[in-house]
Amino acid sequence: MRKWFGFFVAILIDYIRPIEGFESLIEILMSIITERKEKKMIKVVAINGSPRKEGNTNILLNLVLDELKNEGIETELIQLAGQTLSGCIACYKCAENKDQKCAIVNDSFNECIAKMHQAQGILLGSPSYISDMTANMKALLERSMTVSRSNGGMFRRKVGAAVIAARRSGATHVLSSLNYFFLINQMIIPGSNHFNFGIGRNPGEVKNDAEGVQTMKTLGQNMAWLLKKIYS
């Protein structure tokens, strides 16, 4: 039906173009086509909570992003490395202001949440630190949850997924913690052929985890399928 709509509009424009006085109608039809194309655009923003930009978490995230790109989905990767995000201070100014922003403005948080809000999918990545996410990722999610819920549910029905890099253990707890963020924000979580983590300590070692690599690829494929079902 969508294909026939575009075909019909294209023929109609060619037919009426020579007719005097129909310029405004052409503009209206072109705006309709542009709007429909914009609605089809799907984007996933990924956030790397690791302090190492080129570490194992980054590798896992890019394995997922590569699959999304192969499906024609736009992607962006945000690095929290080198930044210092503070946690939520429970001032609740975001609930008073209703501007989809945090009142703390001396870090990059508001830039991050704006990109999360604009995207249709959110992919989070963190190494396992004492069986939990990194401090920067925790701070980001604390404030994101408060701002989102104070502004009508900014992430409601977006697609969310998480990936974890671990040296030995703790990954399942980190994965659960990140999934709790998705669930409390009414997001939709795709699955994979195993839990979404890879094993490795030194940068690059995670590539040796064949099952972990395949889990990331399957996650990317399933995330793309779900996004298209919801937004196409």
Task: Summarize the confidence of residues 142-153 as an average pLDDT.
Answer: 97
CA gap 230, 91 in Å, rounded: 35
- Same domain, yes or no: 5 and 105: no
DSSP state of 57: H
| In the predicted structure, residue 9 carries a pLDDT above the cut 80 | no
What pTM did the predictor assign? 0.83
Domain carrying residue 14: 1-40
Which CATH number fits the domain that encloses residue 190? Answer: 3.40.50.360
The H or E element spanning position 229 is helix 210-231
Flag whether pLDDT at 136 surpasses 60: yes
Of 43, 63, 59, 68, residue with least CA distance to 221: 68
Same domain membership, residue 11 and residue 47: no
Looking at the fold, whether 206 and 97 belong to one and the same domain comes out as: yes
Within a 13 Å sphere around the CA of 211, how many CA atoms are in the beta-carbon half? 6
More confident residue, 1 or 222: 222
**Alpha-carbon separation of residue 82 from 27, 114, 136, 207 (angstroms):** 47, 20, 10, 24
End-to-end Cα spacing for the chain = 12
